[in-house]
């Protein structure tokens, strides 16, 4: 399934087991849970592996049956796991209630094998296998061990000329009570990032500027930065649009209707994965935006955190015309 290339796309982050209550059931009442594998960086990797890229997950899994399940599910979508390690500790979990449009996430990832052992990963050994490195802001919000591993990784990869993509992925509940110096790490990673997934609001929060000037300010502040991409939700109208900018140009799509949402989680990760694919195959800004929008919209119809499908399906999906039954 994988395309021959000198190295792989390395995705660095924690893999989580998600336990979601049935549609319409609150956690306080839940008697049955569906299990899915998630984790923002693994979701990005899942889309890229299914589209034919060589993808390796760089993570720490618990030495337990739940750790085995995470590894098996990575393999299932074609992600390599030979660069991941095992350690003592829990496999991170999260609980999801609501289903469909709205929802509430309860993280239960404290004391995880990843958060406590991310320093086991040997970046100088891994850099030789990398053609691209992807991480997210969640790596920076899980405590000092993971955050420092992320910074080490980014420095090592950037020095070696590996392209770096970074999705800010702000999660209020994870950042609660974090210190200023911790928040500063987001900025440190941005400084080494080539391809940034961040909303104007994320940028403004990090740079301390106005939202209206955020994109411009980011390109001004960070020399390495090549591209900034984000999705915008217009919740009242239940629509989603995509904006991508480089230093030279910007493109914003129309808003596409979400229809009856099956699962909102992971649509931003599907977007990021599709944009990275566009960049890798040299697509235009507009093509990247449209491909990313297609991935994000079609993800809303797929249960679980990960976009599931083939390149052919994604290429033939028109987000502005959800279309009839194909037969």
Scanning residues 290 to 309, which ones bind a copy of itself (CB under 8 A)?
301-304, 308-309
Q: Does 7 bind a copy of itself (CB under 8 A)?
A: no
> Alpha-carbon torsion 125, 121, 267, 285, what sign?
negative
Q: Does 65 bind a copy of itself (CB under 8 A)?
A: yes
> Alpha-carbon torsion 240, 244, 245, 251, what sign?
negative
Q: Does 234 bind a copy of itself (CB under 8 A)?
A: no
Give per-residue burial for 170-180: e unless 16+ CB within 10 Å, then b. beeebbeeeee
| Member of 7, 52, 85, 105 binding a copy of itself (CB under 8 A) | 105
Scanning residues 83 to 102, which ones bind a copy of itself (CB under 8 A)?
90, 93, 95, 97-102
Rounded CA-CA distance 284/158 in Å is 24
Q: Under 8 Å CB-to-CB from 233, ≥6 apart: which residues?
A: 239, 240
Shortest Cβ 230–a copy of itself spacing (Å): 14
Structure tokens at 273: 């994965």
User: Helix or strand or coil: residue 144?
Assistant: helix
> Is residue 41 within 8 Å of residue 13, measured between CB atoms?
yes
Return the half-sphere exposure (C-beta side, CA atoms, 13 A cut-off) of residue 96. 26
Structure-token match 């990797």, residue found: 45
| Member of 7, 52, 64, 151 binding a copy of itself (CB under 8 A) | 64
Region binding a copy of itself by CB under 8 A among candidate stretches 64-72, 198-206, 209-217, 276-284: 64-72
Scanning residues 20 to 39, which ones bind a copy of itself (CB under 8 A)?
22-35
Shortest Cβ 12–a copy of itself spacing (Å): 20
| Member of 172, 223, 248, 282 binding a copy of itself (CB under 8 A) | 172
Q: Which helix (H) or strand (E) holds 276?
A: helix 267-280
Shortest Cβ 129–a copy of itself spacing (Å): 17
Rounded CA-CA distance 232/154 in Å is 27
Q: Which is nearer to a copy of itself, 37 or 285 (CB)?
A: 37
Give per-residue burial for 243-257: e unless 16+ CB within 10 Å, then b. bbbeeeeebebebbe
Total number of residues that touch a copy of itself (CB under 8 A):
76
Q: Which is nearer to a copy of itself, 282 or 325 (CB)?
A: 325
Q: Does 236 bind a copy of itself (CB under 8 A)?
A: yes
Q: Does 311 bind a copy of itself (CB under 8 A)?
A: no
Structure-token match 């998630």, residue found: 38
Binding-residue pattern over the window 181 to 220 for a copy of itself, x denoting contact by CB under 8 A: ----------------------------------------
């Amino acid at each position: 399934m994988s395309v021959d290339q000198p190295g792989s796309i390395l995705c660095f982050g924690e893999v989580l087991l998600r336990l979601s209550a049935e549609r319409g059931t609150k956690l306080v009442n839940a008697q049955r849970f569906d299990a899915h594998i998630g984790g923002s960086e693994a979701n990005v990797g899942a889309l890229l592996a299914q589209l034919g890229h060589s993808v390796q997950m760089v993570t720490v899994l618990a030495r337990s049956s739940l750790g085995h399940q995470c590894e098996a599910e990575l393999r299932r979508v074609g992600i390599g796991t030979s660069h991941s390690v095992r350690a003592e500790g829990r496999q991170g979990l999260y609980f999801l209630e609501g289903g469909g449009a709205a929802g509430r996430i309860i993280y239960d990832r404290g004391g995880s094998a990843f958060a406590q052992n991310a320093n086991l990963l040997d970046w100088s050994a891994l850099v030789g296998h990398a053609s691209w490195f992807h991480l997210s802001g969640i790596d920076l919000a899980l405590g000092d061990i993971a955050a420092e591993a992320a910074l080490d990784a980014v420095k090592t990869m950037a020095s070696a000329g590996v392209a770096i993509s970074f999705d800010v992925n702000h999660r209020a509940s994870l950042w609660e009570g974090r210190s200023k110096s911790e928040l500063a790490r987001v900025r440190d990673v941005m400084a080494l990032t080539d391809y940034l997934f961040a909303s104007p609001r994320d940028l403004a929060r990090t740079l301390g500027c106005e939202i209206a000037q955020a994109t411009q300010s980011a390109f001004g502040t960070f020399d390495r930065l090549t591209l900034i991409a984000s999705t915008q939700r217009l919740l009242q109208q239940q629509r989603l649009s995509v904006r991508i900018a480089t230093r030279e140009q910007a493109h914003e799509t129309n808003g596409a209707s979400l229809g009856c949402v099956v699962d909102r989680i992971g649509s931003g990760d599907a977007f990021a994965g599709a944009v990275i694919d566009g960049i890798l195959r040299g697509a235009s800004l507009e093509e990247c935006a449209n491909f990313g929008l297609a991935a994000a919209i079609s993800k809303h119809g797929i249960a679980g955190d990960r976009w599931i499908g083939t390149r052919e399906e994604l290429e033939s999906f028109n987000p502005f015309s959800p279309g009839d039954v194909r037969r």
